[in-house]
Amino acid sequence: MTKKVIVVLVAAVVGAGVGAMLGYGPLLRYKTDGVLSMEIGTTEYKRFSELANDASTLRQFVDLYPPAGVDSKGFSQLAAVVAEGQWHKPVPRVSKADTKELPDILLQMEQDREKAPDEGRKVTVPAYLGLRLTHTAADPVEAANIAAWLGGYVKDVATREAVRDQVARWKLENSQFSDRARERKLKHEFTIEQAQTRAAALKKIVTSYPELARRDGSQVVDVRKDNEKFISPQAQLVGAESEIIEIRQKVRKLDRELEQQAFTQVLLGDVEAALKQARSGNESVLKLSAVIAEFDKKVKTEAERERLLSLAADLSQISGRFLTQAQFIAKPSVPSSPERPGPLFVIALGALLSALAAAAFVWRKLIIKMLWQDDENQV
């Protein structure tokens, strides 16, 4: 065996060694995924994903719930992966394959059935059934554990954003009601005043002409401004007094809503303070629940209790949707084989490339000579 062949063989062995170091080192990657059941719309997914991909959001969650076995270097790698945003994909309710395999009429029937589950009530059906979460790591167990941890991370981010959005809507609704309620009350009071004035004038007319009251025995169904002049004074009097009763009922309802608004305004101050202190989605639910429980002790009227129960129901719906119902329907499993290219392929490739490089070097003169001869023959 010549020295040149030995050089090539040695180079192949060295290349195989380098390939082994790479194949069983940095290039050894195990990939796993799981499907987290979480019904969300397209807008919600965009909002949640932007927050989940943010490094500061990740850091805050890691400080509270650190993934097992991940050091500072591992966290840096995890943060880089999360920031890329490729670790989550939405699972559509109706996929492209479904639209190809099922006739349009069957798809429409299925969607109609989902939109009217009970009592014929129309509901909004979210576009996505959940999220597919993926993670790749050098260790198969670590890949599965981190993918499962990412599921908890997504649930917490969704809960925190949903709570923040709900509190913002509470504030907006309360503010808008406060701006319009007093105006509505003034209008109701003015309408009552007009009806009372009209009723007093009609009573005088009826008293002055008693024979009209004896002759009028018709039933009053509806007295409107456009037809009252064709109706007897007695019927108009009944209509005016009925209007006063109806408007006063509206005023009482408005007073009740104003009472609820004032109660909610005080409660929202404590809610905002608690929300600022919360560092996670789960903690935000707990802190707001504590505020509601504390205000339950301060309730004085049924109107306040009704409003408090409504706020508690909104919060409970968020907790149930994103913390309780959101679960892995396909848990991330420990992968049995690494991603391609596998270690053996990397070893073989390293040996081949090193052998070719060594052969090209040791036989470089022969190769150059052959190339020159080939050029001369072409000339």
Of the two residues 109 and 320, the one the predictor is more confident about is: 320
| pLDDT tens digits, one per residue of 302-315 | 989 999 999 999 99
Query: Is residue 249 very low, low, confident or very high in pLDDT (cuts 50, 70, 90)?
Result: confident
Res 342: pLDDT = 63
pLDDT for residue 230 is more than 70? no
Distance between CA atoms of residues 299 and 311, nearest Å: 14
Res 34: pLDDT = 94
Cα 257 to chain centroid distance, Å, stands at 30
Distance between CA atoms of residues 134 and 50, nearest Å: 17
pLDDT for residue 221 is more than 60? no
Res 131: pLDDT = 95
- The interaxial angle of helices 55-64 and 72-84, nearest 10 deg, is 140
Percentage of the chain exceeding pLDDT 70: 71
Res 134: pLDDT = 94
pLDDT for residue 214 is more than 70? no
Residue 359, SS3? helix
Res 362: pLDDT = 72
Distance between CA atoms of residues 362 and 373, nearest Å: 19
Where is average pLDDT lowest: 9-18, 77-86, 215-224, 306-315?
Answer: 215-224
Distance between CA atoms of residues 344 and 96, nearest Å: 37
Where is average pLDDT lowest: 51-55, 229-233, 252-256?
Answer: 229-233
Res 211: pLDDT = 64
What is the chain's percent helix, strand, coil content, to nearest 5? Answer: 70, 10, 20
Query: Is residue 328 very low, low, confident or very high in pLDDT (cuts 50, 70, 90)?
Result: very high
Q: Quick one: which of 266, 291, 282 has its CA closest to 162?
A: 282
Distance between CA atoms of residues 230 and 236, nearest Å: 10
Place of tokens 């509470």: 170
Of the two residues 25 and 361, the one the predictor is more confident about is: 361
Domain spans of the chain? Answer: 3-162
> Per DSSP, which regions of 56-195 are E strands?
88-92, 128-137
Q: Which of 67-81, 149-163, 322-336 has the highest mean pLDDT?
A: 149-163
Query: Is residue 19 very low, low, confident or very high in pLDDT (cuts 50, 70, 90)?
Result: low
Of the two residues 64 and 228, the one the predictor is more confident about is: 64
Distance between CA atoms of residues 283 and 278, nearest Å: 5
Residues in the chain: 379
Of the two residues 7 and 134, the one the predictor is more confident about is: 134
The answer to whether 335 and 140 are in contact (CB under 8 A) is: yes
pLDDT for residue 120 is more than 50? no
Tokens coding 159: 């809960």
Tokens coding 66: 């650190």
| pLDDT tens digits, one per residue of 127-183 | 899 999 999 888 889 899 999 999 999 999 999 999 999 999 999 888 877 667 666
Of the two residues 373 and 162, the one the predictor is more confident about is: 162
Mean pLDDT (the chain, rounded): 79
Distance between CA atoms of residues 200 and 192, nearest Å: 12
Cα 89 to chain centroid distance, Å, stands at 14
pLDDT for residue 329 is more than 70? yes
Mean pLDDT of 363-374: 70
The one-letter amino acid at 303: A
Distance between CA atoms of residues 252 and 66, nearest Å: 54
Q: Quick one: which of 213, 192, 191 has its CA closest to 202?
A: 213
Of the two residues 274 and 191, the one the predictor is more confident about is: 274
Distance between CA atoms of residues 47 and 154, nearest Å: 12
Residue 52 makes CB contacts below 8 A (sequence gap 6+) with 58, 82, 88, 153, 154, 157
Residue 40: φ, ψ to 5°:
-140, 155
Place of tokens 């935000």: 284
pLDDT for residue 358 is more than 60? yes
Query: Is residue 6 very low, low, confident or very high in pLDDT (cuts 50, 70, 90)?
Result: confident
pLDDT for residue 109 is more than 60? no
pLDDT for residue 92 is more than 50? yes
Distance between CA atoms of residues 18 and 64, nearest Å: 41
| pLDDT tens digits, one per residue of 31-55 | 899 999 999 998 999 999 999 999 8
pLDDT for residue 340 is more than 90? no
Element (H, E) at 39: strand 30-40
Q: 338: cis peptide before it, omega within 30°?
A: no
pLDDT for residue 291 is more than 90? yes
